Amino acid sequence: MKKSPFGNEKNKVIRIKDIALKAQVSAGTVDRVIHNRGRVAEDVKERVLKIIKDLNYEPNLMARMLGSKKQYHFAALFPDHHYDAYWLAPKSGIEKAEQDLKQYGVVVEQFVFDPHDAAAYKKKAEELTQKNPDGILLSPIYYKETLPFFKKWSAAKIPFVLFNTQIAEFDPLSYIGQDSYQSGLLAAKLVHHGQPLPCSILIAHIDEKISNAQHLVRKELGFRNYFTQHNLDHQYKILRVELKRSSQSEFIKKLDHVIEHTIDLKQIFVTTSQAYDIAKYLEQKHISHIKLIGYDLIPPNLHYLSNGAISFLINQNPKGQGYWGINLLSDYLVFKKEVPMIKYLPLDIVTQENLNYFLDEKDQVFIDI
């Protein structure tokens, strides 16, 4: 067998001159092909590109960045975790990404806001825009308030990455998170398999104005469509309630009304991370026949999952969303790589039986994209 002139190419650092030697062209020609500049004959270009692919060559941009003093200023816009514990995880992921990338000049400024106040969201978005960052990572939980900023950032050629909430009207650099529609379908399938006999099911939206929260609209649509697609509409009655934790009396009153007037209610699907609030309510009312499905591995949810009050949690990997969101901006702006327009994260189903695995893994980095 003829030995490769480059030895073990899998372990060898491939240089431009190695590619040039194999393609029988100059190093300058290879450089023009890589950076898509200057004129190169089409057959030569194809030959060079094939060799680049065969050798799995990647430009050594990291070394170049380490020698550069350029700083990249990113802005991260997301809710304050003091109002909702869910947002501590993406904050942690963003900070870990900044720590990992600081050697390449990446600096991330955080703009946090009260998630229950659209005006606070808008104010922080305006502050961010005034800073004219190189790139933006945000969770656009307020749909109407976000659209004008998308226009401004697009006009200013500032790339922005969305996480947690996807908005289709504008083309961001990328979206990272779950497919909300598919997660609704999954929740419905869990409900159906857990309750195969006809009954009533409650969709509970907590602390969100649905008309302005596209991710929750998509979750509900997916949930309802599951029953339609499987011709189950006549067997399951789907109810809906919007709850606000800011008024506990109203919160309890609404749930009391639903439960008192729906004697066959067997399942509640909570579309946000606050399933624990309804679990606490059911516990205080000594109601044990209603099963709960919710989202996110925050401590109060884990408590009720462990004692059986919550049947399933769908893990949205919020720490990974923050971490990889910053990495996507860095790949595009710092390392000049192509990035995917959409990166859907897995729909992890967490139960009592596999909870310890997720607790063991929760501080590790997450998913290779």
Per-residue pLDDT, 356? 86
Q: How far apart are CA 223 and CA 173, in angstroms?
A: 28
Q: What percent of the chain has pLDDT over 90?
A: 65
The pLDDT mean for the chain works out to: 88
Asked if residue 14 has pLDDT above 50, the reply is yes
Torsion angle, CA of 154/160/162/163, rounded to 10 degrees? -170
Name the pLDDT band for 368 (thresholds 50, 70, 90). Answer: very low
Give the model's pLDDT for residue 158: 96
Q: Who contacts 37 (Cβ-Cβ below 8 Å, separation ≥6)?
A: none
More confident: 29 or 168: 29
Q: Are strands 72-79 and 291-295 parallel, antiparallel or unpaired?
A: unpaired
Position 362 scores a pLDDT of 46
Q: What's the full length of the chain, in residues? A: 369
| Domain edges within the chain | 16-59, 66-177+318-344, 180-315
Mean pLDDT of 140-163: 94
Query: Using CA atoms in the order 100, 106, 112, 118, what is the torsion angle rounded to 10 degrees?
Result: -120
pLDDT at 16: 82
CATH of 66-177+318-344, one of 3.40.50.2300, 1.10.8.620, 3.30.70.370, 3.40.50.10790: 3.40.50.2300
Q: Which secondary structure element, helix H or strand E, spans residue 359, and what is its range?
A: helix 355-361
- Is 16-59's fold the same as 180-315's? no
Residue 245 has pLDDT above 50, yes or no: yes
Residue type, 218: R
In this prediction, residue 13 carries a pLDDT of 64
For residue 289, is it left (φ>0), alpha (ψ between -120 and 50) or beta? alpha
**Residues 163/137, Cβ–Cβ less than 8 Å:** yes
Residue keyed to tokens 């006549």: 234
Range in 35-39, 205-209, 281-285, 309-313 with the lowest mean pLDDT: 35-39
**Residues 263-273: tens digit of each pLDDT:** 999 999 999 99
Closest CA to 343 of 141, 179, 180: 179
Domain 180-315 has CATH 3.20.20.20: no
Q: Give tens-digit pLDDT for 41-78.
A: 888 888 888 888 888 776 665 555 555 668 999 999 99
CATH homologous superfamily, domain 16-59: lambda repressor-like DNA-binding domains (1.10.260.40)
361 has pLDDT over 70: no
CA–CA gap between residue 277 and residue 299 (Å, rounded): 12
What's the rounded Cα separation, in Å, for the pair 8 and 6?
A: 6
Structure-token pair, residue 230: 């499987």
DSSP 36-101: T-S---HHHHHHHHHHHHHHT----HHHHHHT----EEEEEEEE-TTT-GGGHHHHHHHHHHHHHH
Would you say 276 and 252 are in contact if contact means Cβ atoms under 8 Å apart? no
pLDDT digits (tens, 9 = 90+) for 284-338: 999 999 999 999 999 999 999 999 999 999 998 999 999 999 999 999 999 888 9
Tell me which of 216 and 365 has the higher pLDDT.
216
Q: Using 50, 70 and 90 to split pLDDT, how confident is the model at 367?
A: very low
Token pair in block for residue 129: 């825009």
- pLDDT exceeds cutoff 60 at 276: yes
Residue-level pLDDT at 2 = 42
Is the pLDDT reported for residue 249 higher than 50?
yes
If you average pLDDT over residues 155-172, what whole number do you get? 89
The reported pLDDT for the residue numbered 68 is 60
How high is the pLDDT of residue 366?
42
